[in-house]
Structure 1
Amino acid sequence: MNSGISVLLVDDEHYSRLELKHLLNERSHFSIIGEADNGESAVMKTIQLQPDVVFLDVEMPKMGGMEAAKALMELKSPPLIVFATAYPQFAAEAFRYEAIDYLLKPYDEIQLDQTIKRIEKQFSAPAQSNESVKPVGKLAVEGEGEIFYLDPNEIVYIHREDKLTKIVTLKKEFDSKMPLKEMENRLSPFSFFRIHKSILVNLDYVAKLTPWFSGTYQLELKGMEGNLSVSRNYVRELRAKLEI
């Protein structure tokens, strides 16, 4: 695991931030690097501080938690989001923004420990003694009463559509309920790159990159009809990864 996981606390109630700060400080590998009391400030501080995780309240002045989460997901490197709120009715909506968990106030330490474990799992990675070793493992996808095990090297691209994640290979398309963020983390040892908030591509299948409108690009993939849109926020990093 990494030496430390950086956290931004966002809540308009000062004492709620203090309570959560106290609970997280008891976990020595968590580092509170900033606080915010509204959604607008949360977005600005996330851009400035680049936290690994944002604990985000829902009901706040100026910009609420859901609106802030939507803005955070637009960032090139979005943080993990944990909603921490007194309102259980927003839980279903929260996971539309790929939240890793939904904590209810007053905080229950058992539930918080479960959240902590989910966060730690996202930042854990097996040690590799040789970087040139080809990663192994298959992606499990449930469908049609069966479990399909997909070779990540055969996946061309993945995109989020409504409430499903679509996994596209040269031969077939599969549906998964796994959030795109979690799938991106699982596939991190392979050649996948996010070109849009809702699209991951396998860089091994990239054939051509063409300038389009307003700083966006069109990406052509081997064996696929049509092109994918590349958000201008990702273009520079994409070119850096593709070019020798």
Structure 2
Amino acid sequence: MQQTLRTLIVDDEPLAIERLQMLAEQQDGVLLVGTAGDGATALRMVDALAPDLVLCDIAMPDLNGIDVAAAIEKLDNPPAVVFVTAFDRYAVAAFDVAAVDYLLKPVAPDRLTRALARVREWRMADRSGQQKSRWIGEFWVQNRGEMLRIDADQVDLIEAERDYMRLHVGSRSWLIHQTIKSLEARMDPDQFMRIHRSKMVRRGGIAGLRHHGDGAWSVDLGEGGVHRIGRTYLHDVKAIMQP
């Protein structure tokens, strides 16, 4: 039997709540237990109703959706949080508060169905004793009108493009709004390393190092190409060859 998800909808726009409520009612196994028009009310209702799922807008006055999710995450038995927003720029903050999914308005019925399936998987997983890692484990990127989840260990190369970072996964790539300095501080150094002022690579994707005649070195990522190592980072990169 499909697990029924007791669901709370949070949005400061009444029409947005009405639309999402109509979409939720079309889904199997969803029981709407309440709606909230602001973050503070949402937290009080979470405490009183103990929902399984919170469908939450992000851009709200005072207590925004990120704040709400951060407070929910501290609960002993937190509900799943799925963001429903008109903006993709909050995707970086979403993995700080362990959002289960990230939906862009207007939400298509099939996209909501996939999000609910992901919530059920999340709830069935044994999360007892797990501690939140300080490192980024996933990214949310915009892909053809929806947000796509990418595991960090799928990323081969991270490359700066002005105020954005491009994530390379095989032959595909996506942009996220983040600087390389702030992103580097949140990536697991055992998994990723900086090789240039504008590039980071996944250690496990390094096929080899190439020495050029002019004293310069490059990292060979196989099908991911060859990338020059900046002199500032050369010592740390060459250290991976030490036993």
State TM-score, norm by structure 1. 0.52
Find the counterpart in structure 2 of residue 67 from structure 1.
67
Q: Deviations over 1:89-111 (max 9, x none)?
A: 10121121111000001112232
Structure 2 residue aligned with 1:27:
27
Shift of 1:123: 4.3
Question: Aligned-residue CA RMSD in angstroms?
Answer: 2.4
**C-alpha contact (below 8 Å) 2:27/2:113 kept by paired residues:** no
Q: CA deviation at 1:28?
A: 3.2
Letter in 2 for 1:92: V
Whole-angstrom CA distance in 2 between matches of 1:48 and 1:106: 29
Deviations 1:117-175 (A, max 9, x none): 212323458xxxxxxxxxxxxx9xxxxxxxxxxxxxxxxx653332257xxxxxxxxxx
**Maintained 8 Å contact 2:82/2:99:** yes
The one-character-per-residue Cα deviations of 1:153-208 (angstroms, maximum 9, x if unpaired) are: xxxx653332257xxxxxxxxxx969xxxxxxxxxxxxxxxxxxxxxxxxxxxxxx
Is the 8 Å Cα contact of residues 96 and 163 (structure 1) preserved in structure 2?
Answer: no
Residue in 2 that maps onto 1:162: 134
2:107 matches 1:107: yes
Give the aligned partner of residue 13 of structure 1: 13
Alignment-mate amino acid for residue 116 of structure 1: L
Change (3 A) 1:115 1:47: same
Find the residue that maps to 2:132 and give its secondary structure.
Answer: strand
After superposition, the Cα gap between the structure-2 partners of 1:73 and 1:90, relative to the gap in structure 1 and judged at 3 Å, is: same
SS in 1 for 2:8: strand
Please list every run of 5 or more consecutive structure 1 residues that lacks an aligned counterpart in the other structure: 126-138, 140-156, 166-175, 179-244
2:208 maps to: none
Could you tell me how far 1:8 is from its partner in structure 2? 0.3
Q: Secondary structure, in 3 states, of the residue corresponding to 1:8?
A: strand
SS of 1:112's equivalent? helix
Partner of 2:56: 56
CA distance in 1, matches of 2:86, 2:42: 19
Matched-pair contact (CA < 8 Å) for 1:11–1:17: yes
For the residue of structure 1 that corresponds to 2:9, the secondary structure is: strand
Q: Secondary structure at the match of 1:107?
A: coil
Relative to structure 1, the CA distance from residue 54 to residue 60 in structure 2 (aligned partners, 3 Å threshold; closer, same or farther) is: same
Distance 1:109 1:101 in 2: 14
> 1:198-237 counterparts in 2 under 5 A?
none
CA contact (8 A) 1:86 1:106 kept: yes
Q: Do residues 37 (structure 1) and 37 (structure 2) align?
A: yes
Q: 1:22 to 1:75 in 2, by over 3 A?
A: same
Contact persistence 2:39–2:68 (CA under 8 A): yes
- 1:9·1:35 contact (CA, 8 Å) conserved in 2? yes
Change (3 A) 1:115 1:158: closer
Taking a change above 3 Å as real, the CA distance of residues 158 and 50 of structure 1, as seen in their structure-2 partners, is closer
Q: Distance in 2 between matches of 1:160 and 1:94?
A: 14
- Change over 3 Å in CA distance of 1:30–1:160 after alignment to 2: same
Conserved 8 A contact 1:40-1:63: yes
Residue in 2 that maps onto 1:117: 117
CA distance in 1, matches of 2:81, 2:42: 12
C-alpha deviation, 1:3, in angstroms: 4.9
CA contact (8 A) 1:84 1:105 kept: yes
Is the CA contact 2:39–2:60 (under 8 Å) kept in the aligned structure 1? yes
SS at match of 1:96: coil
Q: Tell me if structure 2 keeps the 8 A contact 1:163–1:177.
A: no
Identity of aligned residues (%): 30
